Amino acid sequence: MSPRRNPPPRSGRRPGPRPSRPPGRAPERPTPASPGPPVPPRVRIPHTPAQTLPPRPDRWLWTCRAGFEPHLFEELAWAGTAPRLLGEALIESDGAPGLSPAFARQGMRVLASFPSPSPGLSADALARSVAARPRGAPLVLQAYTPDTPSGNALAPQADALVEAARALLPPERLLEDPNRAREAGARLVALCLAPGVAVLGEVLAREALSLAPGGRRRMRREGDAPSRAAMKLEEALDGLPFEPGRGEVCVDLGAAPGGWTQRLVARGARVIAVDPAKLMPELAAHPRVRHVQESAFAFAPEDPADWLFCDMAWRPLEVAQLLAKWGRRGWASHLVANIKLPMKDKNPLLLRVRHLLSEDGGWSGLTVRQLYHDRDEVTVTAHRR
């Protein structure tokens, strides 16, 4: 007997495919969200200048992933900081207390800018400018370029300038290990070399978006890593004051094939990996991994976990509602999650995501960042109040 089929609609058109849903048991209905925040008026984005413009002293220079200038520009405009598009991956704005744009990789206060090449762009001149910074706090001297083909071509020149300037500075003023910059109360002093323009800027390490030059936290993919996801997690954990420790319980929603689970196990954590799909065989057999083959939307932990991790290719608002449910019910103490943003207008949706997590979910200390290894996505971190 042939299988039953629904009759076609009277219009003669066959019904389209049913909307997909996460595999496994049907998810419970999301709790109705509170009204979202008002969306500011849309911002007119200027055209990218043909030649990089110099930033003004005492303003802030921001760098971002190439192609995401409109999103960063709009964020800064909504914050009332009068942004100006300088060139590919570079925007300047007024400063604002606690400003942490999601689409910025790094921000620094402009000390000086000058044409490149120019007589002022030399190791001696750079060393004199750095030496003139107030004494007391150690300095971390860095170099970076915009993450574009024309910018990357200047990286060897920028690195050589900074290395030569570092050799001219008193060693006691410099902090060699940037990973200790926050605890040492250091300042990051950076040379940004862009096509036609060189910029010297600084930011307190404890206020910096990233300790990596220009926010480009490059990592080498390990041979046994099942996916690029592992590098995203490592970068996210680098930005936290602490990380999962030995014996702590982590729930990894959407775990397959196991990129995040693998890195958590390597730290000594116990992982509940939730995904209908299979894990890497060595992870599935690991004594500190319990694989729950069901939908992340249907899963409920037996006991509260220390950490909640989530990296699912799914609708961003539904993922945010799921994360809010975990916060509201006290199912985890700390959150690290990746939110996909395939749509064109990203900032209005990010407003709703922030609102869901903080207001509906009760998560605090919320950060939303497009990290170096993120693409059309952002990484969020938070903890329970």
Alpha helices in 123-258 (DSSP H): 123-131, 149-152, 155-167, 229-238
Angle at 147 between CA 381 and CA 90, to 5 degrees: 85
Catalytic option among 232, 325, 340, 346? 340
DSSP 135: S
SS3 360: helix
Strand order in the sheet with 270-274: 289-292, 270-274, 249-253, 305-311, 332-340, 377-384, 363-369
Q: 257 preceded by cis ω (within 30°)? A: yes
Say how far apart CA 162 and CA 140 lie, in whole Å. Answer: 11
SS3 259: helix
Buried b (16+ CB within 10 A) or exposed e, 102-126: bbbbbbbbbbebeebeeebbebebb
Which residues partner with 92 through β-bridges?
Answer: 61, 84
DSSP 206: G
Catalytic (active site) residue 340? yes
Catalytic residues: 340
